[in-house]
A and B are shown apart, each in its own frame.
Chain A
Amino acid sequence: MNLESLIAQPRADHLVIAEYLTVIISLIFIPYLAIQFGSLLYAFTLNLRGKANNIETDIKASQDIVRYFNGSWTQIILLGVLPLIVLTIAYAQMLYGTEMQVAKFFLNTTIFTFLGLFFAYLSYRSAADIEANEKSFRIAAGLAQTFLFLGAWGYIGTTSLILLPEKWPYVHTVIPFLFSATVFVRLIFFVFYAAAITAVAILFFNFAWSGGREELDEKLADFYRRFFGGNALGLSMALPIFVAWDLYIMPRIAKSAAVFNAAIAFILVLMLVALLLYYLIKNKQVKLSASAFPLFLVATLFFLLSHYYAQGTAIQEQLQFLFVKAQEIEQQVQMQREAAQGEVAGPTLAMGEQVYQKRCVACHQFDKRVVGPPHMEILPKYVGKQEELVKFILNPTRVNPDYPPMPNLGLSKTEAEAVAMYLLEEYQKRTQ
């Protein structure tokens, strides 16, 4: 089944909405996916470490993290699955008519992401009694991480392929492209980003959200501050490496000043986050996480804007083409509506004059040479032969070597008939 055939030709206003949606929805989806992946990554590794070294805090932390971040079906649907479906439709609209099978590629991503979130929920259920359900917790968490990783990989692969229109006719499956340098760099960035934002989120939701969690015991709170504060700081400092690397290998077709400016803004905001985290660790000022997490989301916004500008630059001609096409279709629909209502039946003098003023006056006038010959010289041979004039307008040929060749203006038959009607009517008026 060709999923692309389910996507309708976008209207001009739909295209504008689709462009904005890709940023706004990504701002919801990417942090959520990252936190889901990051929380399971931390929970899984802390559980393993805690069991191996008999560290109770680690095991408690792993249970606490999974129980706090992974238990809501509402979140799974509203922040995970639904945004991905909306993004699929938005991208499919923006890439309508191209060879890029974006709906098919995003469907695979949606399936993997949903499976990942499903297993994340199962790990949440197992974590209720993590000691008794240790094996099922590890299996569920492991599978969740795997599927979320594959989902993220597919998402990154598909959005990165958008930057290379030259590959679209040849890519029937996104799998080979998943092993390209661009996707590789972005995937590592995602893993580091997921771990970083999860660490900051853990600090925020434990120490700042609604005044902090009162049920958190002191030992666990101290562990969170040191472990996740340190992780968040270290990982935040690593992120600019991948941003710079990604900019270096990004196709030139996608680059613009806006891409670089947004990347610089991302790095600068991340610097503020890193400084807050440093003072959070050093001075035990856990309430600084109240600023660190929102700032991290602001940094995420700049990072997404950088990618949005890159995509917009890469496909700017495609978007422009769709805008023009949408306007043409709207005009045709309007004409059909008028025809159906009996206001206009086929070509009319009014339409002919409108088309003439828009398309012909640049090169023609009735009584003097502009680019083409004056109409008064040419039209006598078409009097009583409107069909021949229509034929010429639709398929012009060079008749007189003293004039440059007339280009084919791409008029529809109705437009050509209307213009011919108008020209002959005007000629009649002027010769009476």
Chain B
Amino acid sequence: MKDKLIPLAIIGHFVSFVAIVVLLAWYWQNYLAKPEQPIQFPHNVHAGNLNLDCQFCHQYADKGRFATVPAMKICMDCHQTTATDRPEVQKLIKYWENKEPIPWVKVHTRFRKNSNVGFRHKPHIRAGVDCAVCHGQVEMMTTARMTRTMDMGFCVQCHRANQAPTDCWTCHQ
């Protein structure tokens, strides 16, 4: 009996850690991984090849709290006639014709609900902070993904380096 018990215990030990890793993978896949978007928007084509400025689409980044995703009209200005044979553009056109908003999935979801962090894009853009500082090299991405931890340390280290205010009220309301 003991002859079988110890090898089984060894197998059980390693299999339990495989289960832990599978659990971690499941959690990552469902809560932390790059979200699936309803349209596979290629930032590398638009911001990369075509060299469109970020604010060409995200028009309210320097005007308010949220950068916002573009209104469909901005997409359709070009795609009414351009690349209409592409499957993802056809999805866009279908949303447009059905007058249905595109259900984009929020990518940057780091701030915890109870942290009372009120981040505003406007003061950062107006201070000359490049979009890539927080969002990474978006012009190399297809759909966007989080490339920064967006934890408090990430914000504070940049504020300190750039002599921006670091008192609590700056970010926490």
Which positions in A face B, CB cutoff 8 Å? 164-167, 169-170, 237, 240-241, 243-244, 247-248, 251-253, 255, 257, 260, 263-264, 267-268, 270-271, 274-275, 278, 282, 316-318, 320-321, 324, 359, 362-363, 369-371, 404-405, 407-410
The verdict on B117 contacting chain A, using a C-beta distance below 8 Å, is no
Chain B residues near A (Cβ < 8 Å):
6-7, 10-11, 13-15, 17-18, 20-22, 24-25, 28-29, 32-33, 44, 48-53, 56, 74, 77-78, 80-83, 136-138, 140-141, 145-149, 154, 157, 161
CB contact between A166 and one of B24, B25, B154 (< 8 Å): that residue: B154
Q: Does A317 lie within 8 Å of B140, measured CB to CB?
A: yes
Residues of chain A within 8 A of B14, CB atoms compared? 237, 240, 267-268, 270-271, 274
- In the bound assembly, the distance between CA atoms of A252 and B27 in angstroms comes to 11
A260 and B82 within 8 A (CB): no
19 CB < 8 A contacts A-B: A164-B149, A170-B161, A243-B21, A247-B21, A252-B33, A252-B146, A255-B28, A257-B25, A260-B24, A264-B21, A267-B18, A271-B10, A275-B10, A278-B6, A278-B7, A317-B140, A321-B140, A370-B81, A407-B53
Q: Would B78 and A363 count as touching, CB distance under 8 A?
A: yes
Contacts of B77 in A (CB 8 A): 371, 404
Q: Is the CB of B137 within 8 A of A244?
A: no
**Looking at chain B's contact residues, is the secondary structure mostly helix, strand, loop, or mixed?**
helix
Q: Are A237 and B52 in contact (CB under 8 A)?
A: no
Tell me if A410 and B51 are in contact (CB < 8 A): yes
Cβ–Cβ < 8 Å partners of A270 in chain B: 14
**CB within 8 Å for A244 and B157 given contacts A166-B148, A407-B52, A409-B51:** no
A164 CA / B49 CA spacing, docked (Å)? 27
CB distance B149 to A166 under 8 Å?
yes
| Chain B hits for A370, CB < 8 A | 81-82
Q: A244-B24, A264-B18 are in contact. Are A278 and B10 (CB under 8 A)?
A: yes
Complex formed: what's the CA distance from A342 to B134 in Å?
A: 46
Residues of A within 8 A of B80 (CB): 371
Once the chains are docked, how many angstroms separate the CA of A241 from the CA of B17? 7
Q: How far is the CA of A260 from the CA of B32 in the complex (A)?
A: 14
Which of B44, B74, B82, B140 is the most central at the interface, judged by chain A CB atoms within 10 Å of its CB? B140
Provide the residues of chain B in CB contact with A169, threshold 8 Å. Answer: 161
Within the complex, what minimum Cβ distance (angstroms) separates A432 from chain B? 28
Q: How far is the CA of A165 from the CA of B11 in the complex (A)?
A: 38
Bound form: Cα–Cα A405–B51 in Å: 13
Docked-complex contact A317 and B21, CB < 8 angstroms:
no
Known A240-B14, A267-B14, A318-B137; judge A165-B147 contact (CB<8 A): yes
Quick one: closest B residue to A233, CB to CB? B10
Which of A253, A260, A324 is close to B148, meaning CB atoms less than 8 Å apart?
A: A253
Set B13, B78, B149: member contacting A404, Cβ < 8 A: B78
Q: How distant is the Cα of A274 from the Cα of B11 in the complex, in angstroms?
A: 9
List B contacts of A409 (CB < 8 A). 50-51
CB distance from A345 to the nearest CB of B (A): 27
Contact B17–A244 (Cβ < 8 Å): yes
* Contacting residues, chain A, for B6 (C-beta < 8 A): 278, 282
Across the interface, A275 reaches (CB within 8 A) one of B11, B138, B157, namely B11
CB atoms of B17 and A267 under 8 A apart: yes
Of B15, B24, B83, B161, the contact of A248 (CB 8 Å cutoff): B24
Q: How far is the CA of A241 from the CA of B14 in the complex (A)?
A: 10
Given A165-B147, A317-B140, A255 contacting B32 (CB threshold 8 A): yes
State whether A247 touches B24 (Cβ < 8 A): yes
Nearest residue, chain A, Cβ from B52? A407
By a CB distance below 8 angstroms, the chain B residues around A282 are 6
Flag if B24 contacts A252 (CB, 8 Å): no
CB distance from A230 to the nearest CB of B (A): 13
Known: A252-B146, A263-B21. A371 touches B81 (CB 8 A): yes
Q: Is the CB of B21 within 8 A of A237?
A: no
Interchain nearest-CB distance for B43 vs A (Å): 10
